[in-house]
A and B are shown apart, each in its own frame.
Chain A
Amino acid sequence: MEETELIQLSKEGDIGSFNRLVEFHERGVYNLAFRMLGDAQAAEDATQETFISAYRALRGFRGGDFRAWLLKIAANKCRDQLRALRRRPIASLDSMEEDGVSLIHAGEPPEDYAIRRELGREIEGGLLSLPPDQRLAVILSDIQGLSYKEIARVTASSIGTVRSRLSRGRARLRDYLLERGELSP
């Protein structure tokens, strides 16, 4: 069944159809939340809240890019979670593995995995060191693969704003990685 059809059925209150949409998008939403928040529990909460809000607000969806619409809700939920997280200490990135987060690729030599895992942590830390607006732009562009236009839609900003946030965010992340010797200068 096509996405538009599932959306229409969901609008009519068919939760089964909506859950097909959830299945299709939950990974993307969870990944955005996890990269934004650096905390598995907060990411889980933000993801669940995103789908609850989306279901309730679905009547307001007037067609177009459903993923962008969903990620916009997710970005708002992340902002709420960030506010809540600021009130308690940020969970250590060492807990990633314990939280069931696996970075390993099938068939990868263990030493490569070890290097990549270390690098992954540095990037996590680097992303979390960015201001949230820049972090969101970098995650959407370079991890989730959205276009400038889509990012502008998700963040309710202009293409020019997206361009400058990405520019500053990437430069800052590059400096962060250079300082830690993760990039050869």
Chain B
Amino acid sequence: MFRGLRKTDCEKARGMLSAYVDGHLTSKECEAVESHLKGCEKCRHELESLRATVGILHLMPMISIPRSFALERVEPLRRPRALVVLRAATAICVVLLAFVFISDSINIFEQPPVYIADESSNTMGTFQFPTSDLSGFMEQMDRWLSGSFEGEGTTGTSIPVRQIEYGLLGVVVILGGASTLTYLRARKEGSA
């Protein structure tokens, strides 16, 4: 029982000897270590050898440098070419996607604007997009989300808008992911 406790005391004390040598113990810890050292020859030896080791390290000479490390000129840190290309491609695809999506939602791929001769207003007619209002847009979103877009309403369309949108979305995701990865890797290498 006593032995076990004593061993733990020694281990505790030894764990603190290094900081004790540097004067980095709290006064309480310091007292505990010192009172243990008084009664434990082994730990006193431990302290001596630790002090000797630190003393030897202090004697290690500074090595002279093999050459000057002055810089002649430093190239500004350039972004890797791949990153520039990927970013540009991603941007172009995002713009294309936005263009296609917005055009699609106001139906310019579907029917041309219809000139409606309004009989109640006797002279002037008005141009109307068939589904140019917000409800039309929402309707279209609903159909788009439910995936049943290839039904009525697109009958006049020969452009596969849906496929283009999905395709572009896929390309944006892939390019965006790739440029993010490239950026992160470049940052990891470039930063200190």
Interface residues of A (CB under 8 A from B): 15, 18-19, 22-23, 26-27, 29-31, 34-35, 40, 44, 47-48, 51-57, 72-73, 76-77, 99-103, 105, 116, 119-120, 123, 138, 141-143, 148, 163-164, 166-167, 170-171, 173-174, 177-178, 182-183, 185
Contacts and interface: CB of A to CB of B under 8 A. Distances in A.
A15 B74 contact: yes
Contacts of B60: 35, 120, 123, 143
Nearest to B57: A142
Contacts of B15: 164, 167
Contacts of A174: 49-50, 52-53
Interface string B62-82: 111111111101101100000
B61 A105 contact: yes
Interface of B: 14-19, 22, 24, 45, 49-50, 52-54, 56-71, 73-74, 76-77, 190-192
Nearest 4 Cβ contacts at the A-B interface: A142-B57, A167-B18, A73-B192, A19-B70
Q: At the interface, is chain A mostly helix, strand, loop or mixed?
A: helix
Contacts of B24: 148, 163
Name the residue among B67, B74, B190, B192 with the largest chain A CB count within 10 angstroms. B192
B63 to A, nearest CB: 5
Contact of A30 (B16, B49, B54, B65): B65
Contact of B63 (A31, A173, A177): A31
Name the residue among B18, B56, B69, B71 with the largest chain A CB count within 10 angstroms. B69
Given A15-B71, A19-B71, A119 B56 contact: yes
Nearest to B18: A167
A177 B77 contact: no
B59 A22 contact: no
A185 B70 contact: no
Nearest to A172: B53
